[in-house]
């Protein structure tokens, strides 16, 4: 049986991905803090509350969940959970916020991919890992030293894992969703310019209607996964599939 797991699937892009997968008759496990109340009761939706910043807790969950799936033939593991915090200049960041961001944005998805590859080999199911990335990984942004660097690190991890797998093993790709109308965008727009210099630009994105809906962006990813022949290690970008925002 084909199944999917989405981290941070209760809201924003994660929730949109979950909905699109369910619309395609795929059973989904949403690994998030709150779950999606609108989907509770749906036979294809499962919610698991897991602290993704706790490596031991999250790894134990992934291992035990996989062992319970006796009918699993293929797993789409979509690693969407992440944080844009701390949005602050170097020298002014809270060290604990740095630690949390690295744990959530890089350590957890890298460790989960590592374990998922091992479990897929042991239990004989096909694995597709999707790491949600960001354009912030491509260049420095004032106030985003941690966010951008963790996403850049995850991109290189994805490319390296795909290189090791080649075309005969499991598949791991990145997906860049560009700018969307989500809670993360609200966080960005509410930041002080001294902490994030480009805040006015992001406020203008909202005012000018340049933010795509997560439902649209999530639909693109699900169509890629289910309808295209995936290229191992590729960074898929939503802008290659949708017309530019006006």
Q: What is the pLDDT of residues 155-206, one digit of tens each?
A: 999 999 999 998 888 999 999 999 887 777 778 887 878 777 767 877 876 7
Domain count, the chain: 1
- Name every residue whose Cβ is closer than 8 Å to that of residue 221 and which is 6 or more positions away in sequence: 17, 20, 78, 130, 175, 177, 236, 238
Cis peptide before 86 (omega within 30 of 0): yes
Q: What integer pLDDT is reported at residue 209 of this predicted model? A: 74
Which residue, 189, 222, 227, 194, is CA-closest to 205? Answer: 189
Q: Are 142 and 153 in contact (CB under 8 A)?
A: no
Q: Is the residue at 154 inside a domain? A: yes
What's 11's domain CATH number? 3.40.50.720
Q: Is the residue at 109 inside a domain? A: yes
Q: Which of 147, 175, 205, 236 is catalytic?
A: 147
Helix (H) or strand (E) holding 52: none
Q: What integer pLDDT is reported at residue 123 of this predicted model? A: 96
**What tokens appear for 228 in the block?**
């295209």
Q: What integer pLDDT is reported at residue 202 of this predicted model? A: 76
Provide the domain limits for residue 24.
2-179+213-240
Residues of the chain with confidence (pLDDT) below 70:
198, 205, 246
Q: Is the residue at 100 inside a domain? A: yes
Q: Is the residue at 191 inside a domain? A: no
Q: What integer pLDDT is reported at residue 169 of this predicted model? A: 87
Q: Is the residue at 219 inside a domain? A: yes
pTM of the model: 0.94
Q: Is the residue at 152 inside a domain? A: yes
Q: What integer pLDDT is reported at residue 205 of this predicted model? A: 66
Q: How would you classify the pairing of strands 74-79 and 126-132?
A: parallel
Question: How far is the C-alpha of 62 from the C-alpha of 60, rounded, in Å?
Answer: 6
Q: Is the residue at 142 inside a domain? A: yes
Which residue, 60, 77, 66, is CA-closest to 121? Answer: 66
Q: Are 14 and 6 in contact (CB under 8 A)?
A: yes
Q: What integer pLDDT is reported at residue 208 of this predicted model? A: 75
Q: How many CA atoms lie within 13 A of 85 on its CB side?
A: 13
For residue 76, indicate whether it is catalytic. Answer: no
Q: Are 131 and 153 in contact (CB under 8 A)?
A: no
Phi/psi zone of residue 220: left (φ > 0), alpha (ψ -120 to 50 degrees), beta? alpha
What is the SS3 assignment for 148-178? HHHHHHHHHHHHHHHHHHCCCCCEEEEEECC
Compute CA 186 distance to the chain's CA centroid, rounded to the nearest angstrom: 18
Mean of the per-residue pLDDT values of the chain? 94
């Amino acid at each position: 049986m084909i199944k999917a797991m989405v981290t941070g699937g209760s809201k924003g892009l994660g929730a949109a991905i979950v909905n699109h997968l369910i619309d395609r008759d795929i059973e989904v496990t949403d690994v998030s803090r709150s779950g999606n109340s609108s989907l509770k009761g749906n036979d294809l939706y499962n919610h698991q509350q897991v602290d993704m910043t706790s490596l031991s807790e999250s790894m134990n969950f992934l291992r035990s969940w996989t062992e319970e799936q006796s009918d699993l033939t293929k797993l789409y593991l979509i690693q969407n959970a992440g944080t844009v915090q701390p949005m602050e200049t170097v020298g002014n960041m809270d060290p604990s916020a740095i630690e949390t961001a690295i744990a959530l944005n890089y350590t957890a998805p890298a460790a989960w991919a590592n374990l998922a590859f091992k479990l897929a080999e042991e239990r004989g199911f096909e694995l597709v890992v999707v790491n949600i990335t960001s354009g912030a990984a491509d260049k420095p942004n004032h106030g985003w030293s941690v966010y951008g660097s963790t996403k850049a690190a995850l991109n290189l991890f994805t490319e390296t894992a795909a290189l090791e797998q080649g075309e005969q093993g499991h598949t791991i790709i990145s997906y860049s969703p560009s700018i969307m109308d989500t809670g993360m965008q609200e966080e960005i727009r509410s930041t002080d310019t001294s902490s994030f210099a480009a805040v006015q630009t992001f406020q203008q994105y909202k005012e000018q209607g340049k933010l795509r809906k997560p439902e649209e962006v999530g639909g693109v990813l699900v169509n890629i996964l289910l309808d295209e022949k995936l290229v191992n290690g590729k960074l898929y970008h939503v802008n290659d599939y949708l017309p530019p925002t006006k």
